Chain A
Amino acid sequence: MAIYLLKRIALLLPLLLGITLITFTVIHLAPGEPVEMQTSMSPKITAETRQRLREYYGLDKPLYVQYGLWLGRLATLDFGRSFAPDNRPVLDKIKERIPVTLSLNLMAMIVEFGLALPIGILAAVRRNTLLDKGLTLFVFLGFAIPTFWLALLLMYFFGVKLEWLPVSGLHSLGSERLSFVPWLLDMARHLILPVGVASFGSLAGLSRYTRSTMLEVIGQDYITTARAKGLPERVVILKHALRNALLPVITLLGFSLPGLIGGSVIFETIFAIPGMGQLFFMGVMARDYPLVMGILVIGAGLTLVGNLLADLCYALADPRIRHGGR
């Protein structure tokens, strides 16, 4: 087990290096440079000014030199400074956005798992009944409706017509003067729509997945045995079947780890939520290379760690894998 772990960790580094190399190349392949985006078609810019800006950002050097320099800085965990005119350290920009995205995604994930698992189990147990079909319809509706459209409808209904909920943003104006509990309530009101819309959209995948693994497990011999022993159906499903059915779900949980810091652009844009998705999108549009690379590296790192953790949890939870090597 320990050797397996070491092997996996040793493999992470070259993998990460490969990812950075590919992303670095791809970003630089996109037409337009940061200088370009700031200055294109402005009459105030002469070739000389443009050259000056390129030198300032180090864009005049060959690509492999730029990559080497960037990698060298990364080795000391320095993500560099943003190419945006504010020139702030990339890490600062990411740091102020991560808490928002992380907490929002965590909430959405809790709601998602909290709803999708029971839905999946219920649909499996009552397979092919009206309930199963109704639930299926419900989750696929969430999957199929474009997020932005649903979000706008809900905003209009709850925000403009009924005036029950705020339309967008995270806080009301002047909320900084509130004491903690009212402040929290204010933020909670702002979060109802985004969290609701986000989790509604992702119910389908998880609930359908739970349903199918559950069905598979229910068909197994040991479930028949459990039933034959005369155990009540509740115990059969929740104790014997569920445990085994949840195994693959752990993998999904591992996969959603990087998703926790990767915000959705459309979603954050619509609700005016200052998260990672927006930051990344604006970075890409402005060709802010250090920022984009910074976010991608962190994302890639988390994906790799997430996969590793998922595999480990899997091994811990499933004795067949744990002992498989022997």
Chain B
Amino acid sequence: MTFRWIHTVLPLLLLLVGCSVADPPGSPPPRSSGTVANGDTIVTGSIGEASTLIPLLASDAASHAIAGYIYNGLVKYDKELNLVGDLAQSWEVSPDGQVITFHLRRGVKWQDGHEFTSRDVLYTYRVTIDPKTPTSYAEDFKQVKKVESPDPYTIRVIYDHPFAPALASWGTSILPAHLLEGKDITRSELARRPVGTGPYKFKEWVAGQKITLEAYEGYFEGRPHLERVVDRLIPDSSTMYMELKAGGIDMMNLTPVQFQRQTVGISFLERFNKYRYPASSYVYLGYNLSNPLFSDVRVRRALTHAINKEELVQGVLLGMGQSAKGPYKPGSWGWNPNIQDPVYDPAAARELLAQAGWNHTDGDGILVKGGKPFRFTVLTNQGNAERLKTAQIIQQRLRAVGIEMKIRVIEWASFITHFIDTRNFEAVILGWSLGQDPDIFDVWHSSKTGKKELNFIGYRNEEVDRLIVAGRGTFDQKERQRCYWRIQEILARDQPYTFLYVPDALPTVSSRFRGIVPAPAGISYDFIHWYVPKGEQKYTQ
């Protein structure tokens, strides 16, 4: 599972999951689909500039968004979020789960005309694990014992033990060996002029302004209909929204306020289609479990009882989201729909707190135990208004059961170095973004509680440890699902986090684009089939 710490609103990441078209009242009748035609340009906006178009070296969303058009992996997720072949035609996993054999597609050409073979895959693997390559993606391949290629169209990967997340890790972008082998990848000009196997090829990069891609005629799944993709750098989100309204860009992710209040006029709805589906992320209130305040499970359950999640969804997200009960996205196969966590019930919260010894109140109505009032500070990161609002609403609810919560907002770098790394916090409001694979080793396994590791709240549970290891050690989805469902029951019981909510992704796309079919994978999984009918094309030439 790729967890990525999300601390700002991710721009234009449309590769999200579980999808429905929003159908607000008063929307115009759907347009005719017109005839499929090639041509036109889609203009997107990006908050940050891409840093390098060699995805192996990039760690920012903007770079990966562009690289996603240019490169392919061996496997990818289809619209139902099943793993399917991409550069690999098919694959087999050996009965003991230790050997994966990929059969590569034949006749795939790099955008410079060179043929794609297993040599490229071997190179990509070697450069990824090379200690001299400054990449953050080597970890995925550390479990690999050996990679071999019996012939130019076969790749055999051997593992020490079965490792379920391994398959998805081969979705990593395959790099052109003929252009990179024997060279220093960090100095390669491919960072600014990439060559891939994907549907779009690189055309131009005007630093600080835009990146232009062009349809690749020889793409193995067929030429994409849209002739060009232009990604404009627009660092300010208000400006981006105005560019959308003025027609300067064709697609962006809306905020709940924009979605609910500012884009409901008929003139907007005629020009744009809005989509809505759960985003692959959740926001939580995490407790430092080594703090005596929170070491008692009754206290944590009481805190969850005291918080009204539905109110958060309405107040913070204007209803554009749903309450969360565990670390999975509702609707994904790892998600357990039967989870019952403590519901909003202030009386129950008081009761539990009283059982835990918090049964007196001082003059201000704050609960006291052993002469100490129940006061703590919640930390959240600067620049995220949603999380601040969340904290403020929770503050009121906790006050009502006799707990005083202070809020402190801290700049990101200090937040990590001075508070998270040193465990110098009582509680935090943060979010995780989720990958497609349900493996949650990095955030919940007890071996990941060290410095700089992600189980920074210090959650330790032997059964969860065992289930996590079992879940990643088999390719049998039924078996894995059993493990993850049980983990969610335990987490719901223990409440190491109060899982707060899963926001919705709210993309909007100019209505001249047709062929957009929302699916669990979001809207952009079949980008190459988007088109604009001839008469409606805006950028001809």
Contact = CB atoms under 8 A, between A and B. Distances in A.
Contact of A174 (B238, B448, B539): B539
A107 to B, nearest CB: 18
A167 interface: yes
A42 B3 CA distance: 7
| Size bracket, chain B contacts | 35 or more
Contacts of A52: 131, 134
B466 to A, nearest CB: 20
Contacts of B41: 173
A42 B448 CA distance: 12
Contacts of B236: 148, 269-270, 272
Nearest to A281: B235
A291 to B, nearest CB: 12
Chain B facing A: main interface SS? mixed
A39 interface: yes
A159 B242 contact: yes
Contacts of B5: 40-42
B539 to A, nearest CB: 7
A282 B59 contact: no
Contacts of A31: 413-414, 416-418
A36 B248 CA distance: 35
Nearest to B410: A31
A32 B416 contact: yes
A240 interface: no
B51 A85 contact: yes
B239 interface: yes
Interface residues of A, number: 57
A41 B5 CA distance: 6
B192 A86 contact: yes
A244 B209 CA distance: 45
Nearest to B209: A274
B358 to A, nearest CB: 33
Given A40-B416, A49-B136, A166 B187 contact: no
Contacts, number: 156
B416 A166 contact: no
B125 to A, nearest CB: 15
A87 B187 contact: yes
B191 interface: yes
A297 B418 CA distance: 29
Given A32-B416, A53-B134, A97-B208, A41 B454 contact: yes
Given A47-B452, A56-B134, A170-B209, 10 more contacts: A32-B412, A41-B416, A85-B59, A152-B242, A167-B239, A168-B242, A173-B41, A272-B235, A274-B206, A274-B209
27 contacts: A38-B136, A39-B59, A42-B59, A42-B136, A43-B2, A45-B136, A45-B139, A47-B452, A49-B136, A49-B139, A52-B131, A85-B52, A85-B57, A85-B58, A85-B60, A85-B191, A86-B191, A86-B192, A152-B238, A152-B239, A159-B242, A159-B246, A166-B248, A167-B246, A173-B41, A274-B208, A275-B208
